[in-house]
Amino acid sequence: MKQLVTLSALALFFQMTPAGAQDSDLAKKLSNPVASLISVPFQWNYDHGFGPADGNKVTLNVQPVVPFSLNEDWNLISRTILPVVWQDDIAGNSGTQFGLSDTTQSFFFSPKEPTSGGIIWGLGPVLLLPTGTDDLLSTRKWGAGPTGVVLRQSGPWTYGGLVNHVWSYAGDDNRNDVNSTFLQPFLSYTTDDAWTFTLNSESTYDWTSDEWSVPINAMVAKLVTIDKQPLSFQAGVRYYAASSDNGPEGFGARAAVTFLFPK
C-alpha cells in the first residue's frame, strides 16, 4: 500500500510543470478580484469560541468568479460565495447543524484596462440570497446593496480594498434586519516562481447590533500546473482582533484550492 501511495505521489509530481512567467502572471491575477479570469476556489475555514458554549464552525466556501466581456472597454465580473457549513453549539447548547448557508452574489462593472495611474476598479450591486437550509444557518432575509473594489498592481505587489453594504428588504419578519458593512483591505506579494503572500482583513460592522467582527488573515499560496490544469493551493491563519458578543474568538485556520481557467 505504501509503495502504491509513493508511486502515485511521484506520478503527480512529474506531471507538475515548473513555475514560469505565465504562472506568476496567473498568480497575480488571482490577487485581483476583478481580473478577466475564470476561477473556482474551494475555501475551507475553521473558527471557534462562539457564544457561551464555546461553539465550533467549519465553512467550505464555493466561490466561482466568472468574467463576461460586455464590449471593447468593459467587463462584468460575477463573484459568488456559496457557504457549506458544519457547526456545533454555535448559539449556546444548540446542537449540530450541517447544510447550506446564505449566498452572497456580487456583480462588478469594471474597465478592461487600468487607469493612466494604474488603478483597477469595479462597481456594482451585491445581493444576499437566503439559501440557508436551517434556521441557524440563515438570516431568512433577502438583501441588496452596493459593492466596489479598487486596487493597484505594481511589480510583485497588489494592494487595495473591497467594500460592500447590504440592507435587507424582505424575508421573515420575525428575524433581525440585515444592515451590515463589509470591508476587505488587502496586500499581497507574488514571487517570480508563483508564490503569493497575502495579508488582509475581512471586517464586518453590524449596524443593527452595533458590533464589529475583525478577523486578520495571513496566507501563503502556490500556483502550480498539474497535467495542464493551473491550480493554486493556499493555507493560512487568522486572528480575531474584534468580535461580536457571540462571535468567534482567538485564532482560526484557512486552506483553499483554486481551479483556474485562463482564456
Where do we find the cell 462588478? 108
Question: What distance in Å separates the CA atoms of residue 128 and residue 81, rounded to the nearest whole number?
Answer: 10
Q: Assign 14 a pLDDT band (cuts: 50, 70, 90).
A: very low
Write the pLDDT tens digit of every residue in 62-100. Answer: 999 999 999 999 999 999 999 999 999 998 899 999 999
Mean pLDDT over the full length of the chain = 92
The predicted model gives 16-35 an average pLDDT of 80
Strand partners, 205: 181, 212
Q: In this predicted structure, what is the pLDDT of residue 16?
A: 53
- With a cut of 60, say whether residue 46 has pLDDT above it: yes
How big is the CA angle at 250 (ends 168 and 198), to the nearest 5 degrees?
80
Which residues are within 8 A (CB) of 199 and not within 5 positions of it... i.e. 6 or more apart? 186, 187, 188, 216, 217, 218, 219
- With a cut of 80, say whether residue 2 has pLDDT above it: no
- With a cut of 50, say whether residue 11 has pLDDT above it: no
Q: In this predicted structure, what is the pLDDT of residue 22?
A: 77
Pairing of strands 141-154, 119-129: antiparallel
Question: What distance in Å separates the CA atoms of residue 262 and residue 69, rounded to the nearest whole number?
Answer: 14
Question: What distance in Å separates the CA atoms of residue 45 and residue 215, rounded to the nearest whole number?
Answer: 12
Q: In this predicted structure, what is the pLDDT of residue 155?
A: 94
Residue 233 corresponds to which cell in the numbers above?
493551493
The helix/strand count (H/E) of the chain reads as 2, 16
Q: Assign 169 a pLDDT band (cuts: 50, 70, 90).
A: very high
1: Cα within 13 Å, side-chain hemisphere: 0
- With a cut of 90, say whether residue 37 has pLDDT above it: yes
Sign of the Cα pseudo-torsion (128, 134, 137, 140, in order): positive
Q: In this predicted structure, what is the pLDDT of residue 23?
A: 84
Q: In this predicted structure, what is the pLDDT of residue 245?
A: 87
Q: In this predicted structure, what is the pLDDT of residue 10?
A: 45
State pTM to two decimals.
Answer: 0.90
The predicted model gives 240-246 an average pLDDT of 93
Question: What distance in Å separates the CA atoms of residue 254 and residue 120, rounded to the nearest whole number?
Answer: 27
Q: In this predicted structure, what is the pLDDT of residue 3?
A: 52
- Domain at 18-261, CATH homologous superfamily: Nucleoside-specific channel-forming protein, Tsx-like (2.40.230.20)
- With a cut of 90, say whether residue 167 has pLDDT above it: yes
Q: What percent of the chain has pLDDT over 90?
A: 86
Domain ranges for the chain:
18-261
CB 167 within 8 A of CB 142: no
Q: Which of 242, 137, 233 is nearest to 194 (CA)?
A: 233
The predicted model gives 201-221 an average pLDDT of 97
Q: Assign 239 a pLDDT band (cuts: 50, 70, 90).
A: very high
